Amino acid sequence: MKTKQELNNFLKNNLKQNLKELDEVRLSLIPMDKKVKFAFRFLLFPTFFLIITIGMPLLMRFIGSKMEMRGVELMAKELMRLQWSILKSVIGHVELYQVVILLLVMSLGIIYFFVKVYFPFLKKRKEYEHLYSIKVKGPIFQFLDKNWKYTPSHSITLSEYNNSRLAPRQQDSYSGKDLIEGHFDNVPFKSCEIHTQYFKEKKETKQWYTIFRGIFFSAELDNNSSGDIILISKDCVLFRTLVQHIKQKAFKDVSVNNEAFNRIFKCNATNEKEFTKALNSKVFRILMQLKECYNGTLGMSIIGTKLYVTISTEEEVLKMQKITEGLIDIERIEKYFEVLQLLKILAVELNSQSKLVIY
């Protein structure tokens, strides 16, 4: 891997042509972005008006008929009568067909906005995001190591994520992107961003909740391990649930000779003796540094010969700048570079340790 200074020079000098092409697309999106924002403000009142005058009564009547609630149906009818009378008093003495025409025109205006303005804007912004991956992310990873393979739309598989035993609970949604595959010295690794969620049914609607969002890293170690180790930070979402799940798999609590580390992490292993062989003060220091990078939760496991690390983040690691704010966020890129450097040190260090053996 390159140094931080080399990365800075690359971002400032070697990406100029790519950024120029990207900026042309970005500048073409700004007027569309302003138009969409203005239209949303302009259409806020008519949309709200249509929902109140038509949508809500119809919904109430539908619910009343489906659930056989006669009172709700009658309430919906009375609400519609009241709304029509208020509407007529506000507009003046108009005929019903004139009100219908007005509502129809408003509806057509909203439909026109979405079809001719909003959806084309979303499509072009999606193209811009794809171009950003090709013109910015891809070249950066190729610069860091020309042998790395970068696939923007791919991620580490769900089965591998579950194999890490770092998932606090069963997820209903798993998505990921920005997969990097390569080697740290002689250690093969994969890294990507993932987002896992679960949902709860509330009043016939699904409400989604995030379980984990952040970096998921895996590496193949040389040692032929049959012992397993799991470290998780105590601020992990659903921490107690995860700990209970771990203990059901024959893991035992392990303490290390480092008070600061014990305050932050909970350590579990199938064999305490082999745990102390595999992990040393350097590994503990790296893990604490990794946690500080995004100040989020962190988990690490060694399952057989596989090393897994999860680092939670509040938002996407390589999130694009807003269209009106510029092209790239150098600090964000440098932060991810720092994480990759620490993950390299961690993987190489663990790969050099004695084999984990369960007697």
d(CA 159, CA 151): 19
Using an 8 Å Cβ cutoff, are 301 and 283 in contact? no
Taking CA atoms, 305 is separated from 163, 198, 220, 229, 352, in Å, by 12, 30, 6, 11, 12
Instruction: Reply yes or no on whether the pLDDT at 335 is more than 90.
Output: yes
Q: Where are the beta strands (DSSP E) in 172-330?
A: 173-184, 187-202, 205-220, 229-233, 252-254, 265-269, 298-303, 306-312
Burial label, 317 (beta-carbon count in 10 A; 0-12, 13-18, 19+): buried
For residue 171, the Cα-to-chain-centroid distance in whole angstroms is: 14
Tens of pLDDT, residue by residue over 34-87, are 888 888 777 666 666 656 555 555 555 555 555 555 555 566 566 666 666 666
- Mean of the pLDDT values across residues 161-184? 91
Per-residue model confidence (pLDDT) at position 52: 58
305-323 tens-digit pLDDT: 899 999 999 988 988 888 8
The answer to whether residues 172 and 198 touch, using CB atoms and an 8 Å cutoff, is yes
Bridge partners of 202, per DSSP, are 205
User: Average pLDDT, whole number, for the chain?
Assistant: 82
Please give the structure tokens belonging to residue 148: 């790395």
Q: Report whether pLDDT(354) > 50.
A: no
State residue 131's pLDDT score. Answer: 92
Q: Among candidates 182, 199, 201, which has minimal Cα distance to 191?
A: 182
Mean pLDDT, rounded, for 209-231:
85
Average pLDDT on 159-181 reads 91
40 or 292: which carries more pLDDT confidence? 292
**Is the pLDDT at 4 greater than 50, yes or no?**
yes
Question: What pTM value is reported for the model?
Answer: 0.78
In the structure encoding, which two tokens stand for residue 25, read together? 């697309």
Domain boundaries, the chain: 4-124, 147-351
Q: Using an 8 Å Cβ cutoff, are 218 and 179 in contact?
A: no
Q: What average pLDDT does the segment 168-173 reach?
A: 85
